[in-house]
């Protein structure tokens, strides 16, 4: 097992990367109502995530990408956005998407393979999740530049993983953002693996944040399992972008508790001790301890929340299952007005299989 992944927080070289911290001053801690609301969201998306894994195992949705362990990174950053700000997520960011207004039903429909799963309410400022790694980075930058050009104060936030930093899109996106001072926040959830590839094989730098220096922008590294630290760092970057002071690269150092997707087996490439260590840094347990110390939360509130969340998720699942069964041939229907020959052949072949014809 690669040791730098576990040590990188302590092993950061002095490359001018700012290490963000949770606000120490009382005045900088969000009000009780917001803290409780952020906690409720973390609990809700974890329960939703666990339910999605079970739904996949039961064959009720398709392959699914779990986010458990990354709740603080997603909720803390999404809370820093205003409703008018546009979010560019990946396939693992449905926690952040839900916070920014995407209904759970739509997220389930997406994982059920339905195109309607990316059809969000008009006022919800979220792009469909990017599955090709890194493509959403130049999208977010270009979108932010367009808003700037139009003179409005909306900004963009693009999510990506540590693996995406090896893509050309990452470098091109950051360079453009920096040169044109685009009002964008580039938010990397460094969960230390790109499927089975550990961070130490992804890059020779110790951190993602230090890469910002090469583009002439600010880089911030934050404990991605610390909700308040993530919120504070992202708010700083969002407000800076809104003031016209350009982009920020944020690296939220975190860990995914489970496999890359339900089609992956993480025990093949991660030691059980490493996973256990990170589970002991559970972002939800950490924030609950903070709330309880202030007497803002107790067992009774936790039980009431669990019931409420269960009911809400059940309702979303039932809505998803009321839709007629997905038609796999839909995948040919939404990109081309006239299907190219090669795709037409594949469509015919698929139709044949669906009609129960020759599968050989």
Residues with catalytic annotation?
256, 260, 269
User: Residue of minimal CB distance from ligand TPP?
Assistant: 161
Residue 260 as a binder of ligand TPP (CB under 6 A): the answer is yes
Q: Residue 168 has which token pair?
A: 């050309």
For residue 131, state whether it binds ligand TPP (rule: CB under 6 A): yes
Per-residue contact flags (x/-) with ligand TPP for residues 27 to 66, judged by CB under 6 A: ----------------------------------------
Question: Which lies closer to ligand TPP via its Cβ, residue 96 or residue 320?
Answer: 96
In angstroms, what is the minimal distance from the CB of 360 to ligand TPP? 28
Q: Is residue 251 part of the contact set for ligand TPP (CB under 6 A)? A: no
Interface residue with ligand TPP among 133, 156, 186, 229 (CB under 6 A) is 133
Choices 75-83, 131-139, 313-321, 352-360 (CB under 6 A): range interacting with ligand TPP: 131-139
The span from the CA of 260 to the CA of 257, in Å, is: 9
Decide whether 71 or 162 has the Cβ nearer to ligand TPP. Answer: 162
When the beta carbons of 132 and 340 are compared against ligand TPP, the nearer one is 132
- With CB under 6 A as the contact rule, the residue among 164, 217, 233, 284 that binds ligand TPP is 164
Tokens representing 183 are: 């009002």
Which part of the chain contacts ligand TPP (CB under 6 A), choosing from 128-136, 268-276, 289-297, 307-315? 128-136
- Among 62, 65, 106, smallest CA distance to 317 is for 106
Strand 184-190 with 156-161, pairing: parallel
Site string (69-108) toward ligand TPP, x via CB under 6 A: -----------------------x----------------
Q: Write the CA distances from 278 to 5, 50, 224, 275, 281, integer angstroms.
A: 11, 18, 12, 5, 5
Judged by beta carbon, residue 129 or residue 246, the one nearer ligand TPP is 129
CB 107: neighbour CB atoms within 10 A? 24
| Number of residues binding to ligand TPP, judged by CB under 6 A | 14
CA gap 143, 164 in Å, rounded = 19
Query: Does 16 sit near ligand TPP (CB under 6 A)?
Result: no
Q: Hey, is 252 helix, strand or coil?
A: strand
Q: Residue 83 is encoded by which pair of tokens?
A: 């409703």
Query: With 0-12 CB in 10 A as exposed, 13-18 as middle and 19+ as buried, what is 268?
Result: exposed
Is position 191 an interface residue for ligand TPP (rule: CB under 6 A)?
yes
Q: Whole-number minimum distance, CB 89 to ligand TPP, in Å?
A: 11
132 touches ligand TPP by CB under 6 A: yes
CA distances from 184 to 67, 121, 342, 358 (A): 23, 23, 38, 50
Strands (E), 80-126: 86-88
Whose CA is closest to 167, among 202, 215, 219, 205? 202
For ligand TPP, the binding residues (CB under 6 A) are 92, 131-133, 160-164, 191, 193-195, 260
């Amino acid at each position: 097992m690669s040791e730098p992944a576990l040590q990188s927080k302590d092993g950061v070289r002095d490359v001018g990367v700012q290490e963000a911290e949770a606000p120490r001053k009382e005045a900088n801690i969000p009000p009780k109502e917001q803290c409780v609301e952020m906690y409720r969201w973390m609990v809700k998306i974890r329960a939703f995530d666990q339910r999605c894994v079970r739904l996949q195992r039961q064959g009720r949705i398709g392959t699914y990408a779990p986010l458990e362990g990354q709740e603080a990174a997603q909720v803390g950053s999404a809370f820093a956005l205003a409703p008018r700000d546009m979010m560019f997520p990946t396939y693992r960011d449905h926690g952040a998407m839900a916070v920014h207004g995407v209904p759970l039903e739509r997220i389930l429909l997406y994982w059920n393979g339905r195109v309607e799963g990316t059809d969000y309410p008009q006022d919800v400022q979220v792009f469909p999740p990017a599955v090709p790694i890194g493509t959403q980075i130049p999208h977010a930058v270009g979108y932010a530049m367009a808003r700037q050009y139009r003179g409005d104060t909306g900004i963009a936030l693009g999510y990506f993983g540590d693996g995406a930093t090896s893509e050309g899109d990452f470098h091109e996106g950051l360079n453009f953002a920096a040169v044109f001072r685009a009002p964008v926040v580039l938010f990397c959830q460094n969960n230390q693996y790109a499927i089975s590839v550990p961070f130490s094989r992804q890059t020779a730098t110790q951190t993602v944040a230090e890469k910002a220096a090469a583009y002439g922008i600010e880089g911030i590294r934050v404990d991605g399992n610390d909700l308040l630290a993530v919120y504070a760092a992202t708010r700083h970057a969002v407000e800076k972008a809104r003031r016209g002071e350009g982009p920020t690269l944020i690296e939220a150092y975190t860990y995914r508790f489970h496999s890359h997707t339900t089609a992956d087996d993480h025990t093949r490439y991660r030691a059980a001790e490493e996973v256990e260590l990170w589970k002991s840094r559970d972002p939800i347990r950490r924030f609950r301890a903070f709330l309880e110390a202030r007497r803002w939360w107790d067992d009774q509130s936790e039980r009431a929340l669990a019931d409420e969340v269960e009911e809400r998720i059940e309702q979303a699942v039932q809505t998803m299952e009321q839709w007629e069964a997905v038609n796999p041939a839909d995948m040919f229907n939404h990109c081309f007005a006239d299907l190219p020959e090669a795709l037409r052949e594949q469509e015919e072949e698929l139709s044949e299989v669906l009609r129960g014809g020759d599968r050989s």
